[in-house]
Chain A
């Protein structure tokens, strides 16, 4: 962003120097105040996370202490060992499950949504506009509404307790992302496809070699948000993964809380390790995340 701080424009009237000066001073003061408010807000936003980490390292007697203790002394790294080696919080297994769910879903969503969006944006076929309107209206169906029939269907085919009910739907498209990618595919000039067709390329080739490389930012956005949504998903895994060996980190943490309700040091250690991977991802892909938000108007 390279917006000029003082955009060059013809001066309408030349103010007296003293007025200009006082205006500049006023500007400086107001900016300082705004900056201080922003710093305050940033501290408020970060405090819960700092408090989480702080508590996760506290010895037992400093957890319930008054006044509050911010810096645990000495830091109890053993809390993490206790939380991660706990028989009811199998961190490595849950991590593996979370990764499996998130990565396969991300691949599925990107592939399926790109294919379907390509059909809607770049091909003409009978019934296309009708199906597109239906697709838009399915975006309004909340997940809890279809949850029970889905559960009963998956129970009948013996998929409850496996990852299939969570992953397979993702390979068949997500309406919001289909819509988003369609909008992007539409911005690419049709001449590009026509030229390739004249050269003898088939649709799959055009899709793969021309359209996908040109819409990489949109595809990355879809991938990031899918990863985030599946990593943080709770309701789906809670219902379909009723076997402790299949728990994701989110469900595992919930179960852990059920048992160690008041052991705040262990709870916070577990919460920290569940949060950490996503925060690391955020630091690496920060720009893409924030661009994605403004691109889609979607919340994290």
Chain B
């Protein structure tokens, strides 16, 4: 087979190159590792060693004051079988992720489509939608705590104007999570801009062809826009999920997990265990579980993506 021999030839060339035991190669490797050395150090010191340590600490009882004491899977047993707050935090976080991520993606997509329809002032709108996402999270949280004030807040005032009695938002166990979802929607600007770039990459002739075939606006969106945009949607879904599982600042500032732990999100709980109660072992176990959750999420989305992501001209790998 011609193709195989070609591949073999290439690989043998490659091998010969790599095996060159000359001074030249030695120098080349040295230069390569010199450029790589900062990150080799950073990777080991701040990523790989901490992960290994986190696994070790998660198997110990460690209160900072005393040295770690080995307790095997004790932390995990407590977490899964005893600790109700762990389940509460997990539930809250999943609730938030399941509503906030798809809702954000949908609204961002709608915004992007509106932006893409060649109305005047596109760059102004783009900048305006982007602006909230760069407001420091602490400042944004403080502002939203005020905006969501049940009596004198902006949101309930606007709701009252259209005749809807405003909910008590952050003071209610039921409404506090929707309040966080609402807050997260303020930051959809960048997602909309990524979608807009994706939309602008779609070749115009496809729309024209669809139009000639008599497709209406909805059919064009359904059959041209969405399939061609799935790689972008997929990318944002993964990033959004990972981000939603790490929400911290808003919960810390706005509600501190309350009322009745209804906004105790996962990383806030991890922070509380580690840096309020100084249970470093238990917090490490929480960290490892978070790592596994994010890993599993990413893998699931990657695997299922093969069925619904359309890469133009490229077979999904």
Contact = CB atoms under 8 A, between A and B. Distances in A.
B138 A300 contact: no
Interface of A is mostly: helix
A171 B38 contact: yes
Nearest to A202: B31
A126 to B, nearest CB: 5
A49 B248 contact: no
Give the one of B118, B139, B145, B146 with max A CB within 10 A: B139
Contacts, number: 287
9 contacts: A51-B154, A123-B32, A138-B48, A141-B291, A270-B142, A275-B135, A279-B134, A294-B197, A300-B187
B133 A299 contact: yes
A49 B136 contact: no
B120 interface: yes
Interface residues of A, number: 98
Interface string B175-204: 000000000001101110110110010001
A286 B127 contact: yes
A135 B48 CA distance: 11
Give the one of B127, B235, B280 with max A CB within 10 A: B127
Nearest to A146: B50
B57 A148 contact: yes
Task: Sort A-B residue pairs by CB-CB distance and give the 9 closest, nearest first.
Answer: A125-B32, A172-B42, A119-B35, A173-B39, A149-B50, A146-B50, A149-B53, A294-B197, A300-B133
B46 interface: yes
A45 B147 CA distance: 13
A172 B38 contact: yes
B43 A145 contact: no
Interface string A62-82: 011111100000000000000
B257 interface: no
Contacts of B121: 35, 38
A231 B137 CA distance: 10
A45 B129 contact: yes
Nearest to A173: B39
A171 B42 CA distance: 8
B280 A45 contact: no
A172 to B, nearest CB: 3
A153 B133 CA distance: 33
Interface stretch (A5-13, A84-92, A186-194, A215-223): A5-13
Nearest to B196: A294
Given A134-B43, A141-B51, A203-B31, A300 B190 contact: yes
A150 interface: yes
B26 to A, nearest CB: 10
A63 B295 CA distance: 46
Nearest to A287: B123
Contacts of A208: none
Contacts of B208: 9
Interface string A137-175: 010111111111111110100000000000001011101
A42 B253 contact: no
Contacts of A116: 35-36, 38-39
Nearest to A68: B157
Interface in A196-254: 203, 207, 228, 231-232, 234-235, 238-239, 249-251, 253-254
A151 B278 CA distance: 11
A144 B246 contact: yes
Contacts of A110: none
A100 interface: no
A175 B208 CA distance: 42
Interface in B121-165: 121, 124-140, 142-147, 151-152, 154, 157
A142 B290 contact: yes
B138 A234 contact: yes
Interface in A250-296: 250-251, 253-254, 257, 264, 267-268, 270-272, 274-275, 278-279, 282, 286, 289-290, 293-294
A254 B138 contact: yes
B32 A235 contact: no
Contacts of A34: 114, 117, 119
A66 B152 contact: yes
